[in-house]
Structure 1
Amino acid sequence: MLDSRIAQDVISAGCELGASFVDIYVEKSVYEAISLRDSEIKDIKTGTDFGIGIRAIFGNKSVYGYTNIAEREELLRILKLICAMDKTSQSVSPSAMDFRKIKAQFLVSSGLDKPSPYEEKIAFLRRVDELTRRNEKVTQFDGLSMQKWQSIQVFDSEGLAIDDERHAIRIPMTVITAEGSNQARAFEGPGGSQGWEFAKTIDPERIAESLVKRALTVLRADPCPAGKMPVVIDNGFGGVIFHEACGHLLETTSVEKKASVFHDKMGEMIASSVVSAVDDGTIPGLWGSLTVDDEGMPTQKTQLIKDGRLNSFLVDRLGSMKTGFDRTGSARRQSYKYAPASRMRNTYIDAGHDDMEAMIASVPFGLYAKVMGGGSVTPGTGDFNFAVEEAYIIKDGKVGKPVRGATLIGSGPQVLKSISMVGKNLMLAPGMCGSVSGSINVTVGQPSIKVDEILVGGEA
């Protein structure tokens, strides 16, 4: 990829131009996507990309540029262009490079760095399609096999010279059912930081049965009543509310600008005392796991909230410089086309001590949100509106009939304080997250939780 001598020359030139810090991010990636619709392979897409991003920091201001050409003259040209955006009167001397070798933490046997078994992937998608269509109510199955392999290098003016390899796989699947004029859908998208061997952990019969059962449940459900009520949110993808409505408020990307309601709350109670939350980039095989972040720092387990008290933000280099908090290995980006920013990895509410049965039994009338869907969040405040893909009425402490069209409307910070019970059944689920440094792989999660009151929007 990039010769270390060229990297050293470019970094030295950046420091001579007045930058207090310079880093270089080199990326080569291979991508593959196989899609199936209406029982036929719709598309097979493959691609490769290569690029180099250069960042120079002047005081607390960062400038960034990128190119696809790994030549000294081109990199110096990009460097001079971005350094012309801002200058400081003082220069620093770059440190000698320490060529560290990172030991692979997540072993992969069938990544895109090796020949890709198209036939196996197509056979898997066809098998799930066949199984779902055994039910006459199923009108459509969409399946997608996505894999990515990424090789990176990071060099910086503090002497870092590091390389890493990353693998990712995800298999999103959607079923649509119909009865008369009514339609309903169900989605599952398992994924991990692995190769095709990950697919061997997925049982086609189980996932097909789950998709069809959920889509039929929603198809035959009654309209959801609206109003303020207690809500029990199930484990796994239920954690998307914490991720979107609270997690982003803990990234120094927003904290440094005082654009987060939590920017001055370090050490204070921001949640119910039964709530602890973690962002952990080190869990083997998870969709959001990394050996090192995109600044070359080893990832870690970061305790965001402990017993309701704000314990840590998610901090990248620039965020650390602006806020004074230690870096947490949270610098991430979609590709070399983006400067790094503080982002989440595998973020979840930690397991508690309550039983799911006790949560349900404690609700005289409310909603059981079994499977969450998508939604929207207001940046800075954490106000949210999320659809519930599969929901049930709770009446007299028992789960009752399914309902459709439910939405949860509220404020992330307020919901944190309204959680009264946290289950033991922690589960994690993959997702995608978009922010200032692009779209990245993340994991969300939680055990079942009881929120004493949320505004539920419905059709009834």
Structure 2
Amino acid sequence: MLNQALVQDVIDEALKTGGDFAEVFVEDTFKDQLMLLGGRIDTSLSGREFGVGIRVYNGFHSAYTYTTDFSREGLLKTAHHAAQAIHGESQIQPQKFQVEQASIIHPIAQLPQSVEKTRKASVMKNAADIASQYHNSISQVKVSLLDEEQNVLIANSDGKFVEDQRIHSRMAIAAIASNEHDMETGFYGPGAVRGFEFFEDLDLNHYASEAARIAVTNLGADPCPSGKFPVIIDNEFGGVIFHEACGHGLEATSVAKGKSAFANKVGERVAPDIVTYIDDGTIPNEWGSINVDDEGNKPQKNVLIENGILKGYLVDQLNSRIMKTKPTGSGRRESYRFAPTSRMTNTYIAPGESTPEEIIENTEYGIYARYMGGGSVNPATGDYNFAVNEAYIVKNGKIDKPVRGATLIGNGPKTLQTVDMVGNNLGHGAGMCGSLSGSIPVNVGQPTLRVSEITVGGRKEDA
């Protein structure tokens, strides 16, 4: 992407004012985005993005600059700007590059750029047809398709020089059910680190029908009651509540500054012994998986909480200096426009011993959150609120009527402490996570589990 001699000159320029570490991140990305609405392709966007980010450290301080000018003059000028923000006494000599190609642990069969858009459109139309035909109340279906090929080069003054290719493919299906009085939406958005084969292998009948079923179910649902109840959260994307309410609090981005409810608690009990919480970027072809992180470090399976005991954090290179620990392969960024920081990959609660049926049978009265929606959290306190896309009342150990408008309100560390049953049906769900280093693909996951009590906000019917 850039030759070694030029990259070395850029690193030398970045270190001229006394920095003790410099890094170059080069990105060349191809992306296709298609949207089908009303049975026809409504939008088709294709693009290529090329840029270079340059970062320099002095102790705990860092500076970051980026450019789309990849001429020698442009790159040296950008490195010079980064250096001007750093003033130190270091006179380090950059190490000789150890050139490597990232190990491909997520095999790709068909590169997205090699596939004609007509083939992509055909898969989208099939999904739309399935959802549209699910029920006569389905009034609109929107299907989006994204595929991305990101090629990167990461080099630094410690001698790292690694190139990597990342492929992401995702389909999002949104179905609207409506009647004379109301309108409800159902959504499903599977994704993977795979090429076009992902769309060919996708079980469209399942995903498209589920999106439509959620919409139809909510259309006929009663308002959710408000109060404090036991809540059963289903597997797959149900894990988003712990991603937001706990995962972000375990990132060094907040831990190193002492702005996390989990800071300085390694070795302490933070959950019941049935809870083990893991971040693993090595799971083959999962949406949040990586070959190397955006600092050139290999991903690993990071056990954050083991049998209820806090074991560690997700740590990037800069925060590893502050925390005096090793990076965990967790430095990630959206693109060259962002400096990396500690981020999640595939984060999940490990499976337990209960079956989903046992969890439901042991619940006298509560809420069953089958599909979670979006939400927000304050990492410093762990306070959160989340919408539930599909919910049911549980009565006498059985799933009863569907309810709509449910919101879960609570505190992440406290919710973690009140998990009292964990199922054996681990599943993962694809999503996008936003933070200081931009929006990145992540997986959230868990088996079906029960929290003994969460505040549930409901919604009243219109008068």
Query: What TM-score range do you get, normalising by the shorter chain?
Result: over 0.9
How far is 1:302 from its partner?
0.5
After superposing the two structures, state which structure 1 stretch, 332-341 or 356-365, moved more.
356-365
Which residue pairs with 1:295 in the alignment? 295
* Residue 444 (1) aligns with residue 449 (2): no
Equivalent position of 1:31 in the other structure: 31
SS in 1 for 2:286: coil
- Deviations along 1:187-239, whole A, 9 cap, x unmatched? 00010011110012212223232222221111101111110010110000000
2:132 alignment partner AA = R
Q: 1:258-297 residue pairs with structure 2 within 5 A? A: 258-297=258-297
Q: Deviations over 1:227-280 (max 9, x none)?
A: 001011000000000001110000001111111011111111111211001000
Q: Which residue of 1 aligns with 2:237?
A: 237
Q: Which residue of 1 aligns with 2:129?
A: 130
2:117 aligned residue: 118
Shifted more, 101-110 versus 300-309: the winner is 101-110
Q: Which moved more, 1:212-221 or 1:68-77?
A: 68-77
**Aligned residue number for residue 362 of structure 2:** 362
Shift of 1:378: 1.8
Who is 2:386 aligned against? 386
**Displacement of 1:76:** 1.7
Deviates more, 1:122-131 or 1:253-262: 122-131
What's the C-alpha RMSD, in Å, of the aligned pairs?
A: 1.1
- Answer whether contact 2:15 2:83 (CA < 8 A) is retained: no
Aligned equivalents of 1:435, 1:207: Cα separation in 2 = 28
Superposed displacement of residue 90, structure 1 = 2.2
Shift of residue 357, structure 1, vs aligned partner: 1.7
Counterpart AA for 2:418: S
Residue aligning to 1:104 = 104
Q: What is the deviation of 1:132?
A: 2.1
Secondary structure in structure 1 of the residue aligned to 2:392: strand
After TM superposition, the structure 1 stretch with the greater mean CA deviation from structure 2, 365-374 or 64-73, is 64-73
Match of 1:3 in 2: 3
Q: Which TM-score applies when normalising by structure 2? A: 0.97
How far does residue 301 in structure 1 lie from its aligned partner after superposition?
0.6
How far, CA to CA, are the matches of 1:190 and 1:393 in structure 2? 27
Are the equivalent residues in 1 in contact too, given 2:348–2:444 (CA < 8 A)? yes
Q: CA deviation at 1:402?
A: 0.6
* 3-state SS in 1 of match to 2:114: coil
Q: Deviations over 1:128-162 (max 9, x none)?
A: 22222222201110001100001100110011111
| Distance in 1, Cα, partners of 2:15 & 2:346 | 35
* Deviation for aligned residue 1:438: 0.2
Contact 2:345–2:442, Cα closer than 8 Å, also in 1: yes
- 1:332 is matched by which residue type in structure 2? R
Q: CA deviation at 1:379?
A: 3.0
Aligned to 1:251: 251
Distance, in Å, in 2 between the alignment partners of 1:84 and 1:209 is 56
Match of 1:66 in 2: 66
Partner of 2:142: 142
Q: Offset of 1:16 from its aligned partner?
A: 3.2
Q: Specify the SS of the correspondent of 1:270.
A: coil
After TM superposition, give the deviation of residue 356 of structure 1 in Å: 1.4
The alpha-carbon deviation at position 377 of structure 1 amounts to 1.2
CA distance in 2, matches of 1:211, 1:97: 50
Matched AA of 1:430: A
The 3-state SS of whatever aligns with 1:47 is strand
What letter corresponds to residue 338 of structure 1 in structure 2?
Answer: F
Aligned to 1:182: 182
Letter in 1 for 2:64: Y
Report if the CA contact (8 A) 1:16-1:92 is conserved: no
- Partners of 1:102 and 1:208 lie apart in 2 by 35
Deviation at 1:320, TM superposition (A): 0.4
Q: Does 1:340 align with 2:354?
A: no
3-state secondary structure, aligned to 2:178 = strand
C-alpha separation between the residues in 2 aligned to 1:201 and 1:429? 17
Structure 1: runs of 5+ lacking an equivalent: none
d(CA) in 1 for partners of 2:459, 2:102? 53
* TM-score normalised by length of structure 1: 0.98
The answer to whether the 8 Å contact 1:26/1:336 transfers is yes
C-alpha contact 1:15 1:93 (8 A) present in aligned 2: no
- AA aligned opposite 1:124: V
* Residue of structure 2 in register with 1:92 after alignment: 92
Counterpart Cα distance in 2 of 1:80 and 1:146:
37
For the 8 Å contact 2:232–2:448, the answer to whether it is kept is yes
Give the AA of the match of 1:187: F
Letter in 1 for 2:257: K
| CA deviation map 1:303-344 (0-9, x unaligned) | 010001111100010010010122110000000000010000
Distance apart, 1:185 and its partner CA: 0.9
Q: Following the alignment from structure 1 to structure 2, what is the Cα–Cα distance between the partners of residues 206 and 422?
A: 25
Residues 151, 165 of structure 1: 8 Å contact kept: yes
What is the CA distance between 1:107 and its match in structure 2?
Answer: 1.5
CA distance in 2, matches of 1:131, 1:75: 51
In 1, are the aligned partners of 2:178 and 2:184 still within 8 Å (CA)?
Answer: yes
Query: For 2:100, what is the secondary structure of its paired residue?
Result: strand
| 2:19/2:89 contact within 8 Å kept | no
Deviates more, 1:222-231 or 1:102-111: 102-111
Tell me, yes or no, if the aligned pair for 2:304 and 2:313 is still in contact at 8 Å: yes
Q: List alignment gaps of at least 5 residues for structure 2.
A: none
Q: Which amino acid aligns with 2:116?
A: P
> Corresponding residue for 1:226?
226
CA distance in 2, matches of 1:7, 1:391: 54
1:120 maps to a residue whose letter is: R
State the SS of the aligned residue for 1:294: coil
Q: Deviations over 1:286-314 (max 9, x none)?
A: 11111000000011110010001111100
Q: Distance in 2 between matches of 1:96 and 1:163?
A: 16
Verify: 1:431 aligned to 2:437, yes or no. no
CA distance in 2 between partners of 1:445 and 1:133 (Å)? 29
Question: 1:111, 1:390 → 2: CA distance?
Answer: 35
> What is the alpha-carbon distance in structure 1 between the residues aligned to residue 206 and residue 276 of structure 2?
32
**C-alpha deviations, 1:163-202, integer Å up to 9, x for none?**
0001000100100001221111110001001111001221
Kindly provide the CA deviation profile for residues 68-111 of structure 1, in whole angstroms up to 9, marking residues without a partner as x. 12222222211221221121122211111111222322221222
Structure 1 range deviating more: 66-75 or 246-255: 66-75
Look up the SS of the partner of 1:384 in the other structure: strand
